[in-house]
Amino acid sequence: MSLYGIENLPYGVFSGDDGTRRIGVRLGSGVVDLSPLGGLFAASTLNPLLAAGPPAWAAARAQATAVVAAGSSATPLDQVRLHLPFEVADYTDFYSSEQHALNAGRILRPQSPGLASSWRRLPIGYHGRSATVVVSETPVERPSGQLADGVFGASQRLDIEAEVGFVVGVPGRRVPTTGFADHVFGVVLLNDWSARDIQAFEYRPLGPFLGKSFATSISPWVVPLEALAPIPAPPQDPSPHDYLLPPGPGFDLRLTVDWNDTRVSSPPFAGMYWTAAQQLAHLTSNGASVRTGDLYASGTVSGPGRDQVGSFLELTWNGAEPVKLADGTTRGFLLDGDRVTIGGTAIGAAGVEIGLGSVSGTIRPATG
């Protein structure tokens, strides 16, 4: 059975030889054009569909399912170009894997390797740049910045972060955890590229800035929440504040990380400490609003094993324990020409495994 059968049907935006952008759904190794249906499918981006709300989402999915069931042909993916599926309004990145937080603390702050006192009290995050969110296969230029006191140059510790992104459809303020499915349309895979040396020099006392803002890549397919099967959220101790309860659903998403075609890690999303519903509730708890096209990310997904981590910082223990690739070369951090692909699957609402697509990027040399 295909990971992209009628049980899945993730949405994307594609173009053919004429360059016209159309909305379609992935079916197998092809895309089915939905633009002839008109209405919300006549747009060149998913934003009008995102803004339409849950009843319209359900109706659109029913239309797409009917088209596929009727035997509509799919254009092979190698004959189309895939685009950023929606116009990104704002971008927020969270820090919600307990194992990643513990690993990062042990590596970067060995004198105090535990979690910060606030970590289990609220979903920690930072605001990124929507202008540098790019679609999969967009090359990533090695960033330059201040690496130490008086030293400016190209990052030498370029890293990835394997994450899951949540796409906001309906705007809102002070969204309760119970309102998650009323506002969030679906999920994408996300790579929050990170320059660890730039980040290390700049992040105290304020936090991530130029070490993160140069590029964030997302998959071209948005899997609707309706296609996913929710699971119980992991236990949380201490119990969160009332506005973060109930915790909302968890999701059994299984990620993979390939470095130059070598599978180096398989991060499990099901163990994330803070849920997407809690992240949205916290994001809006001070009165901040979310808009159609807002994107917020889970934070690096890491499990307890070295082969389950979502960053190369953890995989190579800050470069001290390089990983050997299939071609016999070793790596501590990314070199120019390296290619990273993050993939993923999930158990869908229909009880079968479905694909989440993939997000890939290749490193280009710094130009400044």
Break the chain into its structural domains and give their ranges.
11-83, 91-364
DSSP 222: B
Tens-place pLDDT, residues 311-365 = 999 999 999 999 999 999 999 999 999 999 999 999 999 999 999 999 999 999 9
Instruction: Return the SS3 of 343.
Output: strand
Tokens matching residue 310: 């979502």
List the one residue out of 99, 96, 43, 36 whose CA is nearest residue 282: 96
Q: Which of 30-34, 42-46, 106-110, 117-121 is the least confident region?
A: 106-110
What is the pLDDT at residue 61? Answer: 98
Residues 221, 356: Cα–Cα separation, whole Å: 7
Quick check: is 100 catalytic?
yes
pLDDT for the residue numbered 48:
98
Strands (E), 130-283: 133-135, 140-141, 144-148, 151-154, 158-159, 162-168, 172-173, 184-191, 194-195, 216-218, 223-224, 230-231, 250-251, 253-259, 262-265
What whole-number distance in Å separates Cα of residue 315 and Cα of residue 336? 19
Residue 192: is its pLDDT beyond 80?
yes
Whole-structure pTM value: 0.97
Question: Is the pLDDT at 112 greater than 80, yes or no?
Answer: no
Distance, in Å, from the CA atom of 238 to the CA atom of 136, rounded to the nearest integer, reads 38
Mean pLDDT of 250-270: 98
| Confidence (pLDDT) at 207 | 83
Q: Quick one: which H or E segment has residue 61?
A: helix 54-69
Q: Is the pLDDT of residue 290 over 80?
A: yes
Cα–Cα distance, 29 to 34 (Å, whole number): 16
- 91-364: what fold? Fumarylacetoacetate hydrolase; domain 2 (3.90.850)
Where does the pLDDT of residue 203 fall: very low under 50, low under 70, confident under 90, or very high at 90 and above?
confident
User: Minimal CA–CA distance to 359: which of 182, 220, 206?
Assistant: 220
107/260 Cα distance (integer angstroms): 25
3-state secondary structure of 323: strand
Calpha distance 228→7 (Å, rounded): 9
pLDDT in tens, 261-277: 999 999 999 999 999 99
Q: Confidence class of residue 138 from pLDDT cuts 50, 70 and 90?
A: very high
Q: Stretch 222-226: mean pLDDT, rounded?
A: 98
pLDDT at 236 (0 to 100): 97
| Residue in this structure with the two tokens 């109706």, named with its chain if needed | 59
Averaged pLDDT score across all residues of the chain = 96
List the end-to-end C-alpha distance of the chain, in Å, as a whole number. 48
Question: How do strand 184-191 and strand 223-224 relate by DSSP bridges?
Answer: antiparallel
Give the model's confidence band at 1: pLDDT under 50 very low, under 70 low, under 90 confident, else very high.
confident
Q: Residue 187: which of 206, 209, 212, 165 has the closest Cα?
A: 165
Across 214-218, average pLDDT: 98
The CATH fold assigned to 11-83 is SH3 type barrels. (2.30.30)
Decide if 11-83 and 91-364 have a common fold. no
Candidates 100, 183, 241, 282; catalytic one = 100
